Amino acid sequence: MSIVIEKFGGTSVGSIERINKAAERVARTKSDGYDVVVVLSAMAGDTNRLIDLATQIHPNPDPRELDMAMSTGEQISIALLSMALNRDGCKAKSYTGSQIPIVTDKVHGKARVQRINSDRILKDLDDGYVVVIAGFQGITDCGEITTLGRGGSDTTAVALAAALEATECRIYTDVDGVMTADPRIVPGAQILERITAEEMLELSSSGAKVLQIRAVEFAYKYGVDLRVLSSFHDVAGTLISSKESNMEQPKITGIAYNVNEAKITVRGVPDRPGVASKVFGPIAEAHINVDMIIQNVGMDNNTDLTFTVDRSEYQKSLVLVEKIMPEIGAQELVSNGNIAKISLVGVGMRSHTGIATTMFSTLAAEGINIQMISTSEIKISVIVDEKYVELGVRALHTAFGLDDANVPKRETAPQQALQS
């Protein structure tokens, strides 16, 4: 028995026509010889309609009751898809998160999946049914209905793939796959046939939003093979796998950017223990997420501390840092809201030297000044002036040979025309 999970997002089930199309896809996978478990989001628009009703009653409605209302969206889409499958002669049964059950913790609105009972699913698969499950929702041990938060259907799909030891978890979206760079700024961007989960995580956190980060983390943790593909075009999409590939790894998988950051530098900080925690303590207490943190080797017992935050939290962060300046004896506060981060991601980076040099010289050749540098095992990020972001991403895309057929093909699945 080889199980495939197929997850369709809100736009992929946004109308009866699209539900019929999704049913066709599912039936095809079934006739390919797989046992199929489908996970659905609510029809596009349904969730907003429910939020609108709730906020007419109260701007911050009771979270338990909001989950009660919100979980109806998926319940409708799973019923409709199952009707369509049954109509087309493909036996199907739908289940809510409560029915499976998909057990979560008690945090209404952003619950986490704790365990899944697979008995009912396996029995139905054995009996030849396609099992259609409501994404985004679960139930606590006390029988309270919960939701996983927006985008949580991806998490449901991956959690089911792990519980059922599925061969593959297919996430149907409105893009054709994961790309080497944003096609809106790099016309030559290519769809990646394969990417590791680690690379995907670095790309996601660097601003390339195709999948919910939590779903990728989950897939990585449980060794689930994820495939991102289009519900509108017949393309093979991108396989996100942590399993070893026999093929040689390319150096660079993709280039991400983020123009929603701002940087803050505290200059002339006395170079002694405890200073960093005094700076970041109040920031953390205010629930502000810090992205990059850089502190270089000091001089004259003084050092400079630079960090970046999301631009929406820039002003709030400045106020907090200004307050602690006297306490830590810092000399000057310098900040810049017009920066951008460009990141190179690729597991091949680990074993290949010279990647950083190529990156820096490519940017220099375009006259782009690098303001900050930060590296991890599979990522190099630089902060540059916001106005250079498109030029920088395009130049790097070319420099690392991502523009063309030089991207090693690591699968034999047909690659079709790119849709931006």
Nearer to a second copy (CB atom), residue 108 or residue 397: 108
- Provide the pairing of β-strand 130-134 with 92-95: parallel
3-state secondary structure of 252: coil
Locate 159 and state its tokens.
């959690």
For position 94 contacting a second copy by CB under 8 A, the verdict is yes
Angle between helices 197-205 and 213-222 (to 10 degrees): 160
Distance CA(1)–CA(221), nearest Å, equals: 23
Name the minimum Å distance from CB 41 to a second copy: 15
Q: Which stretch binds a second copy (CB under 8 A): 89-97, 158-166, 290-298, 308-316?
A: 89-97
Site for a second copy (CB under 8 A): how many residues?
Answer: 36
- The β-bridge partners of 173 are 230
Smallest distance, a second copy to C-beta of residue 122, A: 15
Q: Identify whether the C-beta of residue 378 lies closer than 8 Å to the C-beta of residue 239.
A: no
Which of 16, 364 has the CB closer to a second copy? 16
Closer residue to a second copy (CB): 11 or 375: 11
- Pair of tokens at residue 312: 């929406």
| Contacting range for a second copy; rule: CB under 8 A; set: 29-37, 66-74, 195-203, 220-228 | 66-74
Helix, strand or coil, per DSSP, at residue 259:
coil
Give the distance from CA 314 to its chain's centroid.
23
Contact status: 290 vs a second copy (CB under 8 A): no
The alpha-helical segments, DSSP class H, found in 242-338 are 275-285, 314-328
Among the residue ranges 55-63, 236-244, 386-394, 404-412, the one whose residues contact a second copy (CB under 8 A): 55-63
**Binding track, positions 221-240, relative to a second copy; x by CB under 8 A:** --------------------
Nearest to 81 by CA among 98, 71, 94: 94
User: 66 or 203, CB closer to a second copy?
Assistant: 66
Looking at 33, 56, 326, 367, which residue binds a second copy (CB under 8 A)?
A: 56
> Taking Cα atoms as reference points, which of 245, 204, 178, 176 lies closest to residue 418?
176
Q: What CA–CA distances, in Å, run from 82 to 97, 143, 297?
A: 16, 25, 62
> Quick one: which of 11, 21, 29, 65 contacts a second copy (CB under 8 A)?
65
Q: Which of residues 137-176 bind a second copy (CB under 8 A)?
A: 143, 145
Instruction: Catalog residues that contact a second copy under the rule CB under 8 A.
Output: 16, 19-20, 50, 53-54, 56-58, 61-62, 64-66, 68-69, 71-72, 75-76, 78-80, 82-84, 86-87, 93-94, 96, 98-99, 120, 143, 145
